[in-house]
Amino acid sequence: MAEQQKIERKYYAHFIDAAFGGATPNYVRLGKDLEEYNEELNPDVEVKKNILGEQSVQHNGYEVQSEVDTFYAYLGDPLFEQLSDIANPCIAMLPLACPTPVRTARSTAVSMVSVWPEG
């Protein structure tokens, strides 16, 4: 029997809509400077046992959840404009200095985002 070869991780792609649900989708592949990406299916399962000792399972679907650690967005990246508005609201005040970088989470798009302009 032939030995199975593993598929390299770089061939498993993750895309995000940089338009965040806008009229025209703009899909961007995640991966550059991305150290870790986790995806969990979180199945909604209800298990019941009747008086005869029989077990029944009702599957109600999945609640997919993903998490990135750590994601960096750079100027010129299609995600930069959207993420900078969410994660670092004081970026609009540049060149004024912000007291501290703002880190925040957005569960519908990217779990954790750090945004600073290059330079």
- The domain locations on the chain are 9-35+67-115
Say if residue 2's pLDDT is above 70. no
75 contact partners, CB below 8 Å, separation of at least 6: 117, 118
Confidence of residue 10 (pLDDT cuts 50, 70, 90): confident
Partner residues linked to 57 by β-bridges: 47
The residue type at 17: D
- Reported as a pLDDT band with limits 50, 70 and 90, residue 92 is low
Does pLDDT of 61 surpass 70?
yes
Residue 88: band (very low, low, confident or very high) from pLDDT cuts 50, 70, 90: low
State yes or no: pLDDT of 109 exceeds 80: no
Global pTM reads: 0.53
Please tell me which residue, 19 or 108, carries the higher pLDDT value: 19
Go through 77-91 and write b for each residue having 16 or more CB atoms within 10 A of its CB, e for each that does not.
Answer: eebbebbbebbbeeb
pLDDT category of residue 48 using cuts at 50, 70 and 90: very high
Task: Name residue 26's amino acid.
Answer: N
pLDDT given for residue 90 in this prediction: 65
Residue 38 pLDDT greater than 80, yes or no? yes
Of 99 and 105, the one with more pLDDT:
99
